Amino acid sequence: MGPPRRGAGKPALPPFLLVPVPSSRRAVAARGHDATRRLALAAATDLRRDSLTVRVAAVLRQRREVADQAGLGARDRPANLSGALTAVRGADRLLRTAPVVLVDDLMTTGASLAAAARAVEEAGGRVLAAAVVAGPAPLRHARAAGAAGENGHPGRRPPPR
């Protein structure tokens, strides 16, 4: 007997698609690569090692120029992205084959993920979840009001005191 296989004993998950949230052409050119697509590809490689059936589907694109989200406040972000994302021609066939996990590098207000989810759903896909590398700093007022758990994230309970 060899070492235990990664993921052994875990229930099998159905196949799913990792769909990167598209960056602007300007951002990709400035970085020299598409960060969210690279994240999705790296995640897929790791998930396949755990015997999961996953495919990266870069099926979203920006249909118009948008302002850099980093320079906008929370109120302006949804309007900036309203109607800006769409699925590429033929994506509907692929998006109907498996549920979608959106992939993004940073989630601040969720506006980019919401716009991506709308575009996937308009093309006939079903968004199951989103995976991000980094999120916002804890919100003091949310913790004080008891609306968020540990680290300001909903769904996590604060440690006992």
pLDDT in tens, 27-81: 778 888 888 999 999 999 999 999 999 999 999 998 888 777 777 778 888 887 8
DSSP E strands in 10-151: the ranges are 16-20, 54-56, 60-62, 85-87, 100-106, 127-134
The dihedral of CA 106, 112, 114, 119: what is its sign? negative
pLDDT the model gives residue 25: 79
pLDDT the model gives residue 150: 40
Residue 1: pLDDT band (50, 70, 90) is very low
pTM over 0.85: no
| Among 154, 152, 59, residue whose Cα is nearest residue 101 | 59
pLDDT the model gives residue 98: 95
Measured CA to CA, the distance from residue 41 to residue 7 in angstroms comes to 19
Contact 103, 76 (CB under 8 A): no
Summarize pLDDT for 87-112 with one digit per residue, the tens: 999 999 999 999 999 999 888 888 88
Contact 139, 108 (CB under 8 A): no
Stretch (H or E) spanning 33: none
pLDDT the model gives residue 8: 56
Strand duo 60-62 + 54-56: pairing: unpaired
